Each structure stands twice: as C-alpha cells, then as structure tokens.
C-alpha cells in the first residue's frame, strides 16, 4: 500500500503551479491569471483520484506540460489553459461541450486536437496512425496543438523511467518516428535534440551512457580549447559596436552516435564534437552586415573550409532558421564549426515557431514568411489527402527532415521545394492540374524529362499536354508530400473504379460457394493472394493479376483445413488476441524464443538478424506470421509507432543452444596470411561455423564481410575481441 503524505503533496502541487505562473507573468494581460487558475482548479478536480506510473499525483503532468509550453517554446495564455486541460476529456467524464462552455471557442479546438480517437479500428488500419493524422490535421487550424503535444511528449519522455519496458519502447519509437522530426521542422532544435537523446537512452542505453560519460570526461579539455580558440578573436570582436556573447556547445549524444554509425568510426574520431556559437545583439536592419563582419573577423584568424560555408541568413531554412555556419581549422589542426547569428535568430533557433511570431511585427523581411509558407503547404496537403492513415503519416514524415532546394518560375518567383525534388514535383507545386498533365519541362531554357532533379537556382518552365495521364511510375521519382498525395489520389480514382468490378466478382464467387463475405473471410482471401488491402485484392482480380477461379482452391486449402494439434496457435491479427491464446496454452503472455516453436510459428527478421542477448520484440505480420526484431532494428520505430497493437513481448530462453546468423565487417591493412589467421580464430579456436566470407583489398587496405553462426551476443563479443587482437586488423563491427 502506498503511503501518501497529502499535505506534502499539496505543497508540491502549489509550488509547481506558482512556478508556472512566475514563468508566465511577463506576458499576462488583465484577467489571464484568473482564467489560468480556473483551468488549474478544473484539472486538479478532474484528475484528483489519478496517479502517474511513478506514483506522483497526475496533476503534476499537465502543470509540467504548461511550464514547458511557456518556458521552452514561448507560448501564451490560451496554450497554458489548453496544456492544463489537455488530458481532461480523454481521461475523465468531461466532454468537449463542457470545455467549450467553460473555456470558450479558442481553447476547445486545441483540446479536441489533443484528444485521442476512441473506438474499434478495422484490421489493416492503425489506431496510432489515425491519432497522428487527427493531431496533424489540426495544423490546418491551429499550430499550437502540435506545439502543446510536443511539450506533452517531452515531459512523458523525461519521466519514462517508471513505465514498463514495452510501453517505453512504444513511446520512444513514436518519438523518433514523428515527434522529433516535427520539432525539427517547427524549429525547436533544443526539444528535438533532447527527444533524440532520450530515445537513444531507452533503446541503446549502454551506447547512451558510454557517449555521455566520454562527453563528460572531455568537458575540461573542451572548455580549455574553446578559451584558447576565442582568445585571439575576442580582441577584434570587442571593437564591434554591438554587444556579443560566445557559447561552446557539445553536439547532442544522438547526433554523435549517428555520425559514429554513418562513418563507422569510434567516439575519438568524431572531429566536430562541439560548435562555437557567436551571438551578436544587432538591430534588425544591421543583422546581415553584423554577421558577415563577425565571419570576416573569425576567418582573419582561422582558415575556413570553403566547402563548409552555409549561409542561412540570405536564404533561411523552411522552419525559419537563420544562421551563418563555417568550419575553420584551429591552430591545433582540428576542424571547428562556428555558428554566427543575432540574438533574434538565436531565439528563433531555440524556440522555433512561437519565437518567429514574437518577432513578426518588428521584422517584415519576406524571407520571414518561409515558415508560414511551409505551414500553408502542409495545410493544403492535409486537407486534400484521403490516403490511409499509415500512408498519410509516412508521406508527411518523409518531408519533415528533408532540406530544401530553391528554384525560380519563368517570371522569377522563388519556389522552395524539398531537396532532391524533380521537375514533376515543381509542376504539382504550381497546381494539381499542371502536374497531372505535365509532359516535361524546360530548365534554364533546356528541355529536360519529368524526373530531372532540380538544383539551386534553376529556372523552371513546365510543358503540359491534355493527352497526358499520371502513371504509377511517377511515384518513384517525386519526393514532395503534395506531389505524392495528388498522384495517389488520381491513381486511386482509376483503381477504385476497377476494384468495384473485382469486388463484384469475389462476392459472386463466394455466393456460389455459399460463403458469407464477412471481413474475416475477405482478409483470409487477401492474405492467400498476398495482397496488403482488400482494395488491392479486388483490383488484382479485376485486372487479371489473380485468377478468380483460385478462390475455389482457397476454399479447399484454407477454409476447410483442420488443425490436428489442439495446442497450436494459429496466425492472429493483433498482440492482444495472440497473448490471450498464448496464456491459455502456456500460462504466460510472453513469447520465449527457442522454446515456443511447438505452439507458434515465428521467424527471425532478416532486416536486423537478432541473436540471443539482443533485446527483442515479436511482431504479428499481415502474411508471414510472427517475426522477431531487435529493438534497435532500423524498422523498429515505424513498426512500434504505427502498429503498436501488433507488437508482442518476447525474450530469449536459455534452455536451448541454437545458432543464429550474424554479420561481421573487418577492416585492416593487408598482409600475407591475414585471412588464414582470421579463419583460424573463427573455425578452429572458437568453433564457429561460417556461412560465407567475402574479401576485398585495395591499395593495401583489407575489407572483409563474414556471415557466421553464433549462439549469443556474448559469444559474438568474445569473437570480436579475439579478431581485434589479430595483427593488421583495425576495426571489427557487427552489421545488420
């Protein structure tokens, strides 16, 4: 039984509430404090009997979300009220009508956007994706919904410690899949970095702790380096007429880990572990000149890398980010990234969208409307999209992290498109009809095909024909969400017409066989023909891809088959039904890998090849039974985010010694007898079976890839350590 000190808890709640009011005080207008108090008391009453998994009173969560919204994003009174009330409709007896009546029409739509969709979802859809779509659709009305949701997600990630492991994986996967890219796109760099770091903390804890410890160990040396680096520059900066501030910031743990993985290097070889930021407090009209003046001073002392100059002041990023980045060579022979910006730019870089609005009246540069342009492009995409929720989220997400390419219309108007956009993306950006009839384009007066990849500064003229029709191939080379969704819509219309005919054929066949065409039967036919959705099945039948006569064979093979085993679990559609069945048969709801093959079929996923010792989960696939994935699998974020209802708990059993396939990459300096030494350790010393070995040597550098069978991560680690000790070998890595 939990011992609760009611008086102490009341003091904690009041202290946190007063802290929130103190942060909000500078911008409160008459009557605002009264409204915030009303929202606080309403939330306090609604959540009075609720506790978080950590045991603390639930009300502390909405207060924390409101505090993040004010302090870290810079939102105002309406957002504070919405943040305090964000879980009231979802978790208590309050209805949307009550919110509207008590708090008005400004707050109600925000709360509605933050409230999850309830109800039963049909097979093949995803409740998480539907909720993402509902939340994202509110972008077309009020971007504050997304900003409060990011504050909510940040607090949930900060307090994830007390959640069960399967919930941790689900929440952290959603975070890296959608929320961190959203924070990035809305210019919330500090929040984006923290979300990414926390994701790493809960998915690869050892890696996270190791990098964090190394950053900590190098702090003193880093600070000394920064002092020495800025020493010569400061004298000249002091002569400027503007005040300035210099910060040295280490890169986030996640971005260091990404660089280590991408370049296949250890921590010690990541050269740009930190950036030096010079912030000038110059008025708006002098900002550009002031930043270039600082750049001139820095490059007088240190040699810049000409390939690493990034001017986001002349052309800001789509999320409003403005800064001048250069990489210079220090006296110690180390590359250092220097970021130069003004106080206003730094504010926007830290607080993103909300700060952008704060400066809107005082700064009328047309470049400042970039963020609004992006929001309106997103609105357009959201409002005209009728794809499935999973497709929708995937399309939306694919555009969140992309950089931009800047091109011009024949009249000289600037258009911003996602990086790697083609002439066809440009056509759809102008208008859906222009895209649908696009035949080709003229770029800089030269004729180019539809799939021509646009480059910065290109001037583009689209050529159209009334005879042109969109084709499925177009989807292969467009990158913008708008073009993808419009092409899918146009193709879907054709597909729907054909699918109606196919549906009639399937229903007629089932009627002849006296089978009721209920959803369960249609899904079994869909799986039998290896199609993703019933629409694909009907389309396949209509276009002759599948022979309708095979439905008869399906009846004989699938519907009439009798399972001889009383204890074998048949393929089920979701985790809950599978876990219920497993509990009936085995008395537990967790799949034991290596032990439960007698009751259920499962396979090791080829995308990540987990081995005993890896942390894993099971995934109920549409057509291929259960697949076992590593929690660090490249596909894990998408599976756990969009299909959490099909994820099952799984762990290795130590009862059986089974061999699992793993891949090793070996790099070193070539010498006679090296391969012999490597195979000697693998086959003779450690008795490991090899499936294959491929070796490539170039200019004295040896690179080998070996596929071998191991019993566990311990077994693999022992092998890696032995191989690293071989003369000439520089690196040994496991790869998927």
Q: Which residues pair with 441 in a beta bridge?
A: 448, 462
**51 token code pair:** 């506790």
Q: Give me the count of residues in the chain.
A: 736
Helix (H, G, I), strand (E, B) or coil at 520: helix
Closest CA to 401 of 245, 652, 674, 180: 180
| Rounded-to-integer distance, Cα 19 and Cα 392, Å | 39
Kindly give, in sequence order, each residue whose CB lies less than 8 Å from that of residue 267, ignoring residues fewer than 6 positions away: 210, 211, 214, 256, 260
SS (H, E, C) 698-721: ECCEEEEEEEEEECCHHHHHHHHH
Residues 65, 70, 73, 75: what is their CA dihedral angle, to the nearest 10 degrees? 110
Lookup: tokens for 69: 């919204």
Gap between the Cα atoms of 268 and 291, Å rounded: 32
Reading the block at residue 494, the tokens are: 């054709």
Cα(564)–Cα(239) distance, integer angstroms: 88
The residue from 8, 49, 90, 670 that is catalytic is 90
Per the CB < 8 A criterion, the answer to whether 302 and 333 are in contact is no
Tell me how far apart the alpha carbons of residues 321 and 347 are, in angstroms, rounded to a whole number.
10
Question: Do the strands 335-342 and 324-329 form a parallel or antiparallel pair, or are they unpaired?
Answer: antiparallel
Q: Which residues of 178-199 are buried (b: 16+ CB within 10 A; e: fewer)?
A: bbbbbbbbbbbbbbbbbbbbbb
Tell me the CA distances in angstroms from 533 to 57, 499, 517, 536, 602, one per residue in order. Answer: 44, 11, 15, 5, 23
- Closest to 719 (Cα-Cα) out of 674, 672, 679, 668: 679
- C-beta separation of 322 from 339 below 8 A: no
Q: Distance between CA 531 and CA 536 in Å, rounded?
A: 6
Output DSSP code: residue 176. Answer: I
* β-pair partners for 414: 408
Query: How many other CB atoms are there within 10 angstroms of residue 165's CB atom?
Result: 12
3-state SS assignment for residue 249: strand
* Burial class (CB within 10 angstroms; exposed 0-12, middle 13-18, buried 19+) of 61: buried
> What would you report as the CA-atom Rg of the chain, rounded to the nearest whole angstrom?
29
Q: How far apart are CA 188 and CA 548, in angstroms?
A: 53
In the block, which residue shows the tokens 């894990």?
636
Q: Are 561 and 587 in contact (CB under 8 A)?
A: no
User: Are 647 and 576 within 8 A, CB to CB?
Assistant: no
* CA 574 centroid distance within chain: 23
User: How far apart, in Å, are the Cα atoms of 524 and each of 173, 375, 534, 545?
Assistant: 30, 42, 10, 18
Helix (H/G/I), strand (E/B), else coil: 148: helix
Q: Does 91 participate in catalysis according to the annotation?
A: yes
Catalytic residue, candidates 7, 8, 30, 91: 91
Which element (helix H / strand E) includes 438?
strand 438-443
DSSP 178: I
Structure tokens belonging to residue 367: 């470049």
Q: Using CA atoms, how far apart are residues 34 and 472, in angstroms rounded to an integer? A: 57
- Residues catalogued as catalytic: 90-91
């Amino acid at each position: 039984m939990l011992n609760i000190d009611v008086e102490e808890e009341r003091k904690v709640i009041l202290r946190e509430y007063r802290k929130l009011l103190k942060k909000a005080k500078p911008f409160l207008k008459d009557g605002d404090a009264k409204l915030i108090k009303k929202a606080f008391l309403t939330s306090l009453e609604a959540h009075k009997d609720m506790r978080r998994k950590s045991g603390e009173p639930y009300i502390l969560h909405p207060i924390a979300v409101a505090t993040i919204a004010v302090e870290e994003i810079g939102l105002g009174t309406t957002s504070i009220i919405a943040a305090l009330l964000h879980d009231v409709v979802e978790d208590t007896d309050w209805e949307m009508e009550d919110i509207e009546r008590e708090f008005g029409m400004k707050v109600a739509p925000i709360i509605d956007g933050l409230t999850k969709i309830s109800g039963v979802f049909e097979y093949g859809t995803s409740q998480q994706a539907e909720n993402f779509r509902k939340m994202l659709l509110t972008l077309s009305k009020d971007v504050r919904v997304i900003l409060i949701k990011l504050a909510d997600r940040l607090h949930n990630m900060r307090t994830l410690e007390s959640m069960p492991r399967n919930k941790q994986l689900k929440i952290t996967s959603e975070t890296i899949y959608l929320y961190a890219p959203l924070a990035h796109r809305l210019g919330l760099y500090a929040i984006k970095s923290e979300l990414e770091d926390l994701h790493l903390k809960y998915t690869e804890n050892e890696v996270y702790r190791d990098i964090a410890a190394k950053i900590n160990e190098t702090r003193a040396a880093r600070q000394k380096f920064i002092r020495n680096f800025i020493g010569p520059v400061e004298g000249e900066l002091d002569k400027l007429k503007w005040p300035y501030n210099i910060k040295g910031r280490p890169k986030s743990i996640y971005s260091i880990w990404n660089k280590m993985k991408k370049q296949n290097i250890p921590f010690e070889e990541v050269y740009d572990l930190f950036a030096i930021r010079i912030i000038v407090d110059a008025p708006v009209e002098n900002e550009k000149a002031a930043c270039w003046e600082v750049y001139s001073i820095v490059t007088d002392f240190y040699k810049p890398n000409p390939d690493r100059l990034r001017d986001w002041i002349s052309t800001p990023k789509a999320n409003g980010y403005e800064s001048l980045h250069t990489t210079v060579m220090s006296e110690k022979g180390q590359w250092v990234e220097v970021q130069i910006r003004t106080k206003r730019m730094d504010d926007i870089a830290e607080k993103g969208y909300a700060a952008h609005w704060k400066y809107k009246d005082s700064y009328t540069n047309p470049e400042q409307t970039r963020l609004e342009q992006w929001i309106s492009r997103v609105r357009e995409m959201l409002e005209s999209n009728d794809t499935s929720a999973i497709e929708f989220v995937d399309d939306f997400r694919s555009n969140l992290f992309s950089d931009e390419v800047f091109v011009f219309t024949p009249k000289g108007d600037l258009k911003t498109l996602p990086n790697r956009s083609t002439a066809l993306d440009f056509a759809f950006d102008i208008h859906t009809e222009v895209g649908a009839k696009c035949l080709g384009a003229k770029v800089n007066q030269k004729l180019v095909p539809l799939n021509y990849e646009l480059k910065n500064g290109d001037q583009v003229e689209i050529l159209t024909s009334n005879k042109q029709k969109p084709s499925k191939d177009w989807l292969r080379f467009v990158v913008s969400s708008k073009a993808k969704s419009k092409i899918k819509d146009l193709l879907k219309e054709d597909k729907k017409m054909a699918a109606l005919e196919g549906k009639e054929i399937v229903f007629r066949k089932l009627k002849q066989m006296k089978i009721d065409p209920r959803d369960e039967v249609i899904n079994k036919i869909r799986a039998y023909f290896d199609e993703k959705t019933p629409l694909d099945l009907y389309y396949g039948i209509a276009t002759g891809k599948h022979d309708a006569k095979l439905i008869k064979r399906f009846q004989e093979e699938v519907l009439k088959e009798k399972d001889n085993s009383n204890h074998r679990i048949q393929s089920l559609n979701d985790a809950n039904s599978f876990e219920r069945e497993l509990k009936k048969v085995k008395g537990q709801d967790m799949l034991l890998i290596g032990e439960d093959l007698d009751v259920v079929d499962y396979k090791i996923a080829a995308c990540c090849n987990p081995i005993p010792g890896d942390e894993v989960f099971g995934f109920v696939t549409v057509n291929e039974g259960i697949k076992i994935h590593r929690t660090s699998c490249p596909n894990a974020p998408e599976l756990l985010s969009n299909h959490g209802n099909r994820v099952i708990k799984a762990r290795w059993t130590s009862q059986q010694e089974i061999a699992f396939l793993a891949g090793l990459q070996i790099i070193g300096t070539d010498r006679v007898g090296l391969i012999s030494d490597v195979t000697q350790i693998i086959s003779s010393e450690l008795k490991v079976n090899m499936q294959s070995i491929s070796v490539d040597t170039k200019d004295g550098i040896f690179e080998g890839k070996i596929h071998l069978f191991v019993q566990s991560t311990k077994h693999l680690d022992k092998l890696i350590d032995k191989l690293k000790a071989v003369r000439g070998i520089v690196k040994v890595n496991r790869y998927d």
